[in-house]
């Protein structure tokens, strides 16, 4: 996601982007609490609430845009801000328990009770884990390429459901 918060005082946490049914039934979300980025990611080891929160302190700033990339490889959740790794936390499990009927919501959660204020320039959901090189390339606006800098192209599919 590429964002710019309207304020450093948002809380709740305020949902930047959420993919779930409610505040407690989520596949994932990115949220803001002050200058902290709050991430939840559901795996077979976390349950439907995707707890516990992954808190990335002091990375959001209302005075500038931030390029946020969160990636998961079934061992670690890694967070990149503006192409730089800023946080990593152990997390296990598969994504097999994601709710296929979940809704994606921007600037709120699907129940509309966690509003976020700011500018949302881009949201992309990839279906594979990225390494640091790929995170840097997406920040630069380039095709992420393959893991490890291997040659080739990365293909993307647009999926839009009513």
Quote the CA–CA distance of 106 and 103 in Å, as a whole number. 10
Quote the CA–CA distance of 89 and 61 in Å, as a whole number. 22
pTM, whole model, 2 decimals? Answer: 0.89
Q: What is the pLDDT along the chain (162 residues), one digit of tens a residue?
A: 999 999 999 998 999 999 999 888 999 999 999 999 999 999 999 989 999 999 999 999 999 999 999 999 999 999 999 999 999 999 999 999 999 999 999 999 888 889 999 999 999 888 889 999 889 988 988 888 777 666 555 555 555 555
Question: Hey, which bits of the chain come out as E strands?
Answer: 2-5, 14-20, 26-33, 36-41, 54-56, 66-72, 76-81, 84-90, 103-106, 118-122
**Distance between start and end Cα atoms, the chain:** 22
Looking at residue 95, its pLDDT comes to 93
Looking at residue 151, its pLDDT comes to 56
CA distances (Å), origin 141, targets 17, 25, 73, 145? 20, 32, 23, 12
Sign (positive or negative) of CA dihedral 77, 28, 135, 143: positive
User: 31 — phi, psi (to 5°)?
Assistant: -140, 165
Looking at residue 153, its pLDDT comes to 56
Looking at residue 143, its pLDDT comes to 80
In eight-state DSSP terms, residue 87 is E
């Amino acid at each position: 996601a590429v964002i710019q918060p309207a304020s450093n005082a948002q809380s709740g946490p305020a949902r930047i982007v959420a993919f779930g049914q409610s505040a407690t039934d989520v596949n994932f979300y990115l949220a803001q609490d002050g200058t902290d980025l709050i991430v939840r990611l559901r795996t077979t080891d976390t349950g439907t609430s995707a707890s516990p929160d992954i808190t990335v302190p002091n990375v959001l700033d209302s005075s500038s845009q931030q390029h946020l990339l969160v990636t998961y490889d079934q061992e670690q959740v890694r967070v990149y801000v503006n192409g730089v790794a800023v946080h990593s936390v152990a997390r296990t499990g598969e994504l097999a328990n994601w709710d296929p009927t979940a809704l994606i919501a921007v600037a709120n959660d699907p129940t509309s009770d966690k509003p976020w204020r700011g500018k949302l320039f881009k949201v992309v959901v990839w279906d594979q884990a990225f390494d640091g090189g790929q995170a840097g390339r997406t920040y630069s606006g380039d095709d992420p390429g393959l893991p490890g800098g291997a040659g080739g192209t990365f293909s993307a599919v647009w999926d839009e459901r009513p």
